[in-house]
Structure 1
Amino acid sequence: MSIAPSPSQPPAGKRIRLSRADRLRQLIDISWRIVREEGTDALTLPRLAQAAGVAKPVVYDHFGTRNGLLAVLYRDYDLRQTAVLDTALAKSGPTLTDKAAVIASAYVACVLTQGNEIPGVLAALAGSPEMDRVKRDYQLAFIEKCRATLAPFAGERGIGNAGLWAMLGAADSLSEAAASADVTPEEAEVELSDIIVGMVDRQR
């Protein structure tokens, strides 16, 4: 399946000199399009170079390896997920129920927005050092954000790590169930929100 030119992909025969940051953004955007339209298996560095209309060394210079490219895609997803959550929390109400509902809805919505793209990226990276590193970084950042957000509603002991890791596991499982249509997004959000409230209540 061919990929039509877009604002980040100049028509064939026309080369536009981009800054390194702009070129990286272009390559990331085209990578997501390849994954969405052709599947993760189709995403290789030579395929990306072809789709972007650049020489192969340009792509290798940015990502090094296919795993390096996939790790960058996961980080890109993580950054967008974090931005969505930050915005939603800033606009949310002041109660524990408000905060829990926002965390739940933002998490599920971000997974659904990526459809089958993120599971494919995760599957391709499974067991690699790159995946272990980027996923661990994401998990720790998310847990600390939730701890800071929910701490005002907990007791003096604060919120323990075990509860936060259990919450994250539930968030992943419920989001995946919603993505595969085993439950509705609304059911996943309500259940996750209840789990978060219950976790905090136990700390009081």
Structure 2
Amino acid sequence: MATTSTRLSKQARREQLLDTAVAIVRAQGADGLTLVTLAEAAGVSRPIVYDHFGTRPGLLLALYRRLDERHRVAIAQAVQDAAPAPAEVARVMSTAYFACATDMPELSAVSAALKGNPDMEAIQHEMIDSYTDLMAAALLPHSGLTPEALRLHCVGVLGAAEAIAAELNRERATAEDAVTALTDLIVGGLDTRTDR
């Protein structure tokens, strides 16, 4: 095995390993990702991979967090760039959500591989809270709902978004139809009549 002439910092090595892990999951599915296959694909010794992730669930959890963070950043950027109108915010949010869902199928594969893992449940709760807060903050200026009611609406919309994404990934809906459906769900529940 060839060795690299430059030594990476611990953080740079972790990023390289996670990049390689994404490539493995994309090519072989989550079942193809182990600490051994990662070490071989990255061209590093097994102890380096074990030092970074400890166990296969540790690797999968780190990969899931990384993919989820990229997903959130993309949605936050899209919302920030949207025109300040409820339908536009909802459309941009929906478009970004489904772009990430289809551009990062690894997220679903890793999530499925972690089913039953107690740490995964905690991460998923964090993720839902983060998305809910992001969505509610973006929609609050356009809603006649109380912040509490809007937050609950966003929780429901995210559940619907996940179900629609599953249909999209199974090719039972087009991206355009998915965006339209989610946009309509978001806007339809905003209660924009603030003059009451």
How is 1:146-165 mapped onto 2 (pairs within 5 angstroms)?
A: 146-155=135-144, 157-160=146-149, 161-165=151-155
The equivalent of 2:65 in structure 1 is 75
Match of residue 8 from structure 1:
none
CA shift for structure 1 position 158: 2.6
Deviation at 1:69, TM superposition (A): 0.8
Q: TM-score, normalising length from structure 2?
A: 0.92
**Which aligned pairs between 1:35-184 and structure 2 lie closer than 5 A?**
35-115=25-105, 117-155=106-144, 157-160=146-149, 161-184=151-174
TM-score by length of 1: 0.89
Aligned equivalents of 2:192, 2:84: Cα separation in 1? 19
Rounded to whole Å, the distance in 1 between the matches of 2:116 and 2:80 is: 36
Q: How many residues align?
A: 192
Aligned partner (choices 3, 7, 21) of residue 17 of structure 1: 7
Q: CA deviation at 1:65?
A: 1.1
Q: What is the letter of the counterpart of residue 108 of structure 1?
A: F
Name the counterpart of 1:185.
175
Q: What residue number does 1:9 align with?
A: none
Shift of 1:30: 0.4
Task: Give CA-to-partner distance per residue, 1:50-76, whole Å, 9 cap, x none.
Answer: 111111111111111111111111111
- Consecutive unaligned residues of structure 2, counting only runs of 5 or more, are none
TM-aligned CA deviation for residue 130 of structure 1: 2.1
CA distance in 2, matches of 1:18, 1:111: 31
Cα separation, 1, equivalents of 2:68 and 2:110:
13
Take 1:121 and 1:36, find their aligned partners in 2: how far apart are those partners?
Answer: 10
Check conservation: 2:143, 2:191, Cα contact below 8 A. yes
Q: Which whole-Å CA distance do the structure 2 matches of 1:157 and 1:34 have between them?
A: 45
**Residue type at the aligned position of 1:175:** A
- CA distance, structure 2, for counterparts of residue 138 and residue 44 of structure 1: 24
Q: Partners of 1:27 and 1:18 in 2: how far apart? A: 11
> Conserved in 2, the CA contact under 8 Å of 1:67 and 1:125?
yes
Counterpart CA distance in 2 for 1:95 and 1:83 is 21
Give me the CA root mean square deviation: 1.5
Which of structure 1's runs of 4+ aligned residues deviate more than 4 A? Answer: none
Secondary structure in 1 matching 2:190: helix
Query: Quick one: structure 1 residues 164 and 156, their matched pair in 2 at CA, closer, same or farther if it must change by over 3 Å?
Result: closer
Distance 2:133 2:28 in 1: 36
Sequence identity, in percent? 37
**Distance in 2 (alpha carbons) for counterparts of 1:99 and 1:87:** 11
Give the 3 Å change call, closer, same or farther, for CA 119–66 of structure 1 in structure 2: same
